[in-house]
């Protein structure tokens, strides 16, 4: 998606997505499949519900002593010979990576999939500094070659057909490749294998970091997370501060539910635990290990509205079940993190102004909360966010005026009664087959895609007088 498309207002972006028939089909197939896989996985796992409660309690306990856990993590990483960097902002985090690359003469960096590096736009910064940054997760590799952005947290290229990928690979990798996922995967394997062996720096995120032991944990299916932490001479891990957990005993609780929520697997193919640089006696592994702890707006929310969003494991389950995401896909959201949790994370990282439209891109149906492995109450926070937008006068004035009028109406019995009568009169031309359709002016936007029940010929309040 181009920059202009990203700058377009949300309704336009969503509208474009709704008209894209391929995208519509791809989204339905992908999200339905993920939903089924997740459901089957938890159906055969009775202890899953208790583990979800436990995982949630661990996240809350960690937040209540976040400073102490981060300190312990940092002490342990340093004791192991790693270097810890503290980045308050995205700018600082980028600067740390760029400085490391510059000082150590890094020409090529291989990356495993990391939403945190997407969040700080690291690739652009590296390219700008003359460092080739290669995404190695197959989905990320595809969208990097296509100069696009991920459209799903765990399946970044679900918006592309195999035909499009074949064309892309044929052009960028110089060959003639058929639209066969097996062949295309083999092509990527070969191209990326060379990069793994040549690269000077491996860049990863972290799914978890264990404070007790100074361990960074990466969960992947392809094995690229293992490559980038085993072959290059420098490993840089960038993690949001909320990823820290206290102990190995806690880690296994999360592992038991993470892959099940994301892809329906019992465990992802690879769970990699990294404790600092290679030890004396090891033939392989990086000489240097750097851990960048990223705040970027997170700590502001510890004592604020979006606190619970800090529990998020980035599994993507809430995207798949969201009736809005299922219709418009990830790009229409216009930010790094899409879907229901993405709205909250965007507000967290970029401020409430950035979601003045997105805060309404939810039907508040609660499906996201039901599937969240740590039971984040996303709908509650979305409502609170809308309230903030109104109170801080960020919401458009028209919206605020309408809601204020609505509140007046609901709080006065007389006004409510009168408005019912007025409505009954005014609605007459628009009632067809017992439903309100084709309303005029601004209201027409609502009835263009759905109808409304008309005001009853006798309202409940009117009937109640007789029934009493």
Enumerate residues 86-125 that contact another protein by CB under 8 A.
Answer: 86-88, 92, 95-96
Query: Considering only 69-77, 198-206, 323-331, 345-353, which stretch makes contact with another protein by CB under 8 A?
Result: 69-77
Residues 6+ positions from 339 with CB-CB distance below 8 Å: 153, 316, 318, 319, 322, 325, 330, 333, 368
Q: Is 381 in the site for another protein (CB under 8 A)?
A: no
Q: Is 177 in the site for another protein (CB under 8 A)?
A: no
Residues 293-322 that bind another protein (CB under 8 A): 293, 295, 299-300, 302-303, 307-308
Q: Which of 23, 125, 155, 321 touches another protein by CB under 8 A? A: 155
Gap between the Cα atoms of 135 and 145, Å rounded: 9
Residues 3-32 that bind another protein (CB under 8 A): 26, 29-30
Q: Is 157 in the site for another protein (CB under 8 A)?
A: yes
Residues 31-60 that bind another protein (CB under 8 A): 33, 53-54, 56-58, 60
Site string for another protein, 331-370 (x = CB under 8 A): ----------------------------------------
Closest contact distance (angstroms) between CB of 297 and another protein is 12
Q: Is 242 in the site for another protein (CB under 8 A)?
A: no
Query: Considering only 10-18, 253-261, 312-320, 437-445, which stretch makes contact with another protein by CB under 8 A?
Result: 253-261
Q: Is the distance from CB of 427 to CB of 436 less than 8 angstroms?
A: yes
Q: Which of 27, 255, 347, 385 touches another protein by CB under 8 A? A: 255
Nearer to another protein, 32 or 412 (CB): 32
Nearer to another protein, 269 or 412 (CB): 269
Q: Is 66 in the site for another protein (CB under 8 A)?
A: yes
Query: Considering only 82-90, 326-334, 386-394, 404-412, which stretch makes contact with another protein by CB under 8 A?
Result: 82-90
Query: What letters, b where the CB count within 10 A reaches 16 and e where it falls short, cover 265-284?
Result: eeebeebbebbbbbeeeeee
Query: Considering only 1-9, 176-184, 432-440, 457-465, which stretch makes contact with another protein by CB under 8 A?
Result: 176-184
Q: Which of 39, 104, 127, 161 touches another protein by CB under 8 A? A: 161
Residues in the chain: 468
Q: Show the tokens assigned to 321.
A: 């079940």
Nearer to another protein, 277 or 342 (CB): 277
Output the CA–CA distances (angstroms, integers) from residue 227 to 106, 154, 180, 194, 230, in the order listed: 17, 19, 25, 11, 5
Residues 6+ positions from 427 with CB-CB distance below 8 Å: 436, 454, 455
Could you tell me how many residues of this chain bind another protein (CB under 8 A)?
A: 106
Query: Considering only 8-16, 262-270, 399-407, 427-435, which stretch makes contact with another protein by CB under 8 A?
Result: 262-270
Q: Which of 165, 203, 206, 348 touches another protein by CB under 8 A? A: 165
Q: Is 62 in the site for another protein (CB under 8 A)?
A: yes
Q: Is the distance from CB of 79 to CB of 275 less than 8 angstroms?
A: no
């Amino acid at each position: 998606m181009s920059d202009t498309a990203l700058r377009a207002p949300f309704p336009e972006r969503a509208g474009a997505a709704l008209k894209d028939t391929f995208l519509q089909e791809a989204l339905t197939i992908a999200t339905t499949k993920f939903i089924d896989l997740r459901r089957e996985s938890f159906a055969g796992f009775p202890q899953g519900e208790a583990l979800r409660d436990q995982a949630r309690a661990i996240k809350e306990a960690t937040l209540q002593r976040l400073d102490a856990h981060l300190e312990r993590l940092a002490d342990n990483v340093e004791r192991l010979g790693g270097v810890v960097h503290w980045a308050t902002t995205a700018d600082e985090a980028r600067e740390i990576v760029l400085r490391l690359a510059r000082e150590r003469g890094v020409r090529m960096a291989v990356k495993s999939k990391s939403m945190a590096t997407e969040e700080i736009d690291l690739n652009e910064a590296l390219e700008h500094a003359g460092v080739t940054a290669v995404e190695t997760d197959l989905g990320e590799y595809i969208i990097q070659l296509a100069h696009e952005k991920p459209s799903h947290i765990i399946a970044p290229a679900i918006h592309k057909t195999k035909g499009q990928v074949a064309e892309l690979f044929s052009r960028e990798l110089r060959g003639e490749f058929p639209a066969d996922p097996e062949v295309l995967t083999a092509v990527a394997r070969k191209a990326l294998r060379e990069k793994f062996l040549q690269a000077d720096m491996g860049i990863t995120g972290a799914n978890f970091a264990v404070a007790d032991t100074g361990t960074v944990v990466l969960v992947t299916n392809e094995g690229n997370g293992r490559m980038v932490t085993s072959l290059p001479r420098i490993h840089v891990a960038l993690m949001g501060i909320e990823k820290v957990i206290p102990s190995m005993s806690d880690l296994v609780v999360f592992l038991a539910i993470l892959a099940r929520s994301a892809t329906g697997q019992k465990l992802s193919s690879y769970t990699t635990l990294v404790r600092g640089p290679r030890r004396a006696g090891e033939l392989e592994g990086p000489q240097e290990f750097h851990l960048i702890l990223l705040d970027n707006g997170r700590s502001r929310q510890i004592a604020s509205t979006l606190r619970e969003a800090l529990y998020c494991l980035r599994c993507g389950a809430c995207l798949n079940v969201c009736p809005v995401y299922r219709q418009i896909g990830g790009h229409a959201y216009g930010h790094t993190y899409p879907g229901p949790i993405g709205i909250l994370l965007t507000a967290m990282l970029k401020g409430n102004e950035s979601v003045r439209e997105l805060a309404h891109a939810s039907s508040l149906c609660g499906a996201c909360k039901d599937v969240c492995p740590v039971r984040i109450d996303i709908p509650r926070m979305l409502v609170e966010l809308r309230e903030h937008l109104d109170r801080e006068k960020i919401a458009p004035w028209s919206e605020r005026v309408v809601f204020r009028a609505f509140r007046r109406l609901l709080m006065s019995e007389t006004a409510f009664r009168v408005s019912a009568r007025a409505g009954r009169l005014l609605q007459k031309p628009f009632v067809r087959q017992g439903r309100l359709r084709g309303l005029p002016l601004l209201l027409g936007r609502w009835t263009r895609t759905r109808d409304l029940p008309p005001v009853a010929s006798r309202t409940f309040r009117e009937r109640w007088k007789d029934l009493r």
